[in-house]
Amino acid sequence: MKNVLIIGSGGREHALADKLKQDRKVGTVFCAPGNGGTKRASGIENIDFSGFDDLKRKVQSNAIDLVVVGPEKPLAEGIADFFEGAGISCFGFKKSTARLESSKNFADEFKQKYGVQSPSFESFSVYEEAKHFLEKRFSRSRGTKLWVKADELCGGKGVIGVETLEEGEEASSTLLEEKECGVGEKIIIQEDVPGEEITVQALTDGDSFVLTPSSQDHKQLYEGGVGPNTGGMGAYAPAPAFSGQVEKNFRNEVLLPTSKGLQEEGLGGPGVLYFGLGLSETGNPKVLEYNVRFGDPEAQTVLRLLDSDLYPILKAASENRLSEIKGEVDWQERAAICVILSVDGYPRDYGDEVYPIEGLKMAGKLPEVRIYHSGTAVEDGTVYTNGGRILSVTAVGDSVREARRKVYRAIDEIHFEGMYYRKDIGSKAV
Ligand code: GLY
C-alpha cells in the first residue's frame, strides 16, 4: 500500500485525494492542510504543518511514497526542489519551471522565443509608459479589448480585461502604482483573442505528455460571462471547439514548440502544464497563459472522466517514465461538469462569517454526482462554509446536457446562507 501526501486545501485537492483513494493500492491519502471534505472522507487524513522542514518530517514519519502539489504558490516557492533535495518523490514542477506561471513576462518571452502561438504583448515597469501605450492603442481602433496582467502571482486577481482607456489606466495604476498584487514591478499588456477560451492540461515528466480531455472554465462571476474575474465558477469537459483542426494546430503550434522550449531551457520535470487557450477568428489556438498545476475547477471536472488509476500515472511521471504507461491511460468518452457554489460577495470581500451547509448527504447520493469541498470546515460533525468558493458539485453523463441536468438537480438539495452559483455552466455546449 502506498501513502500519498497532497499539498493544498481546495476543491482540486479534494478531487485528487478522492481519485487517488479509489485505487486499492493506495493506503492513506494525507492532505496538508486539506479542508472539511478531506477531513470527513474515509481513508483521507488532514495534517497541519509549519514550513517545508516540518512537512518533510511528516512525510518520513507517515511513510509517504509520493507528494503531489496542488496549488502554484508552493511550487513557485520551491517545494519540489526541496523534496528532490531530500530524496522524496514529488509530482510538481520545480521553481524554475513554475516561473511559467509566477512570471507572466517570463512566460510571454518564452512563448515568443520558441514560436508558441500566442497573442502579442508589451511589458512595462513605468506607469507613464503603460499609459502612453494605452493611449495609442485606444486611439487607433474602436472596440479594442486588452488584458492588463500583473507579472507576479496574484491568486486569480492579477488579470484585468479593459475596454476603454480609463479602464486601462486604472488597471495599470492598480497593479503598478498601488501594487495590488505584491511587488508591482512589472505589468504586461496583452492583446485580446476574441474567440472561445479552452483549457488543455498535460501531465508530463518533462519528456512525454498525457493530455487530459479539454475543458472550458467559466471565469466570470455572473451568467453570460460578465462581471469580475474569479478563480472559476464552473467548468465542463470536453470542450466541443477542441477537435479536428484546432486540436491538430494545438499539437503542432503550441505543444510541440512548448516542449522543445522546455527541453532547451532545461525546464520540465514532473507536473501538470495547463494551457489556457484562446481561439482566434480562424480557429488557431493561442496560449493566453500557462499554469503549472491542474486548474480549479478543471481538475474536479476532468478527473471525473479518468478511468485509469491516478497514482501510477503521477508516480511514473515523478520517476521520468511516463512513456512506459502513457498508452494505458483511459479517459471515458463521456461528459463531466463542475459547478462552484460560492458565498455572496466572492471574489471581493465576503467577511469571515461561517454558515452550516445542509443537504450534502442527499445531494451526494444522486447518481453519478460527486461533491468536492473547496472551502469548508467541520466542527462536531457539521460542515460549515469557510472561504469564498465553498463546494465543487460535479456530475458525469453521456452528454453535457445530461451531466448538467444531474448537477443542477444535486444543487437543488444543497443550501447555506448566501449561497450563489451560475446557472449557465456548460449551456454553450448543449
Ligand atoms: N480555473 C483557472 C485556474 O485554475 O487557473
Indicate which residue's Cα is closest to atom 2 of ligand 1: 295
What is the per-residue pLDDT across 154-183, written as a single tens digit (0 to 9) for each? 877 788 999 999 999 999 999 999 998 999
Give the pLDDT mean for 230-240.
95
Lowest-confidence region among 135-144, 191-200, 251-260, 362-371:
135-144
> In the prediction, which pLDDT does 229 show?
86
Distance 337 CA to ligand 1 centre (A): 15
Distance 7 CA to ligand 1 centre (A): 17
Candidates 69, 199, 289, 292: which one to mutate for ligand 1, based on the most atoms within 8 Å of Cβ?
199
Nearest by Cα to 294 from 374, 222, 380, 212:
212
CB 355 within 8 A of CB 424: no
Show Cβ contacts of residue 9 under 8 Å, excluding neighbours closer than 6 positions: 31, 33, 34, 35, 375
Give the pLDDT mean for 111-122.
95
Cell of 282: 480562424
pTM of the model: 0.95
Q: What is the distance between the alpha carbons of residues 368 and 407, in angstroms, rounded to a whole number?
A: 9
Question: pLDDT class for 210, splitting at 50, 70, 90?
Answer: very high
What is the per-residue pLDDT across 286-331, written as a single tens digit (0 to 9) for each? 999 999 999 999 999 999 999 999 999 999 999 999 999 999 999 9
Q: Is 158 in the pocket of ligand 1 (CB under 6 A)?
A: no
Q: Is 295 in the pocket of ligand 1 (CB under 6 A)?
A: yes
What's the maximum distance between 2 C-alpha atoms anywhere in the chain?
Answer: 64
Q: Is 296 in the pocket of ligand 1 (CB under 6 A)?
A: yes
> In the prediction, which pLDDT does 218 show?
95
> In the prediction, which pLDDT does 105 show?
93
Number of H-type helices and E-type strands within the chain: 16, 23
Lowest-confidence region among 1-15, 83-97, 157-171:
157-171
Give the pLDDT mean for 331-339.
98
Reply yes or no on whether the pLDDT at 203 is more than 90.
Answer: yes
Q: Is 11 in the pocket of ligand 1 (CB under 6 A)?
A: no
Reply yes or no on whether the pLDDT at 142 is more than 80.
Answer: no
Q: Could you give the 3-state DSSP secondary structure of residue 20?
A: helix
Candidates 16, 104, 274, 422: which one to mutate for ligand 1, based on the most atoms within 8 Å of Cβ?
274
Question: Percent of the chain at pLDDT above 70?
Answer: 100
| Residue the block writes with cell 462569517 | 353
What is the per-residue pLDDT across 25-76, written as a single tens digit (0 to 9) for each? 999 999 999 999 999 999 999 999 999 999 999 999 999 999 999 999 999 9
Give the pLDDT mean for 371-375.
97
CB 198 within 8 A of CB 287: no
> In the prediction, which pLDDT does 349 show?
81
Q: What is the distance between the alpha carbons of residues 75 and 90, in angstroms, rounded to a whole number?
A: 11
Strand partners, 361: none
Q: What is the distance between the alpha carbons of residues 193 and 162, in angstroms, rounded to a whole number?
A: 13
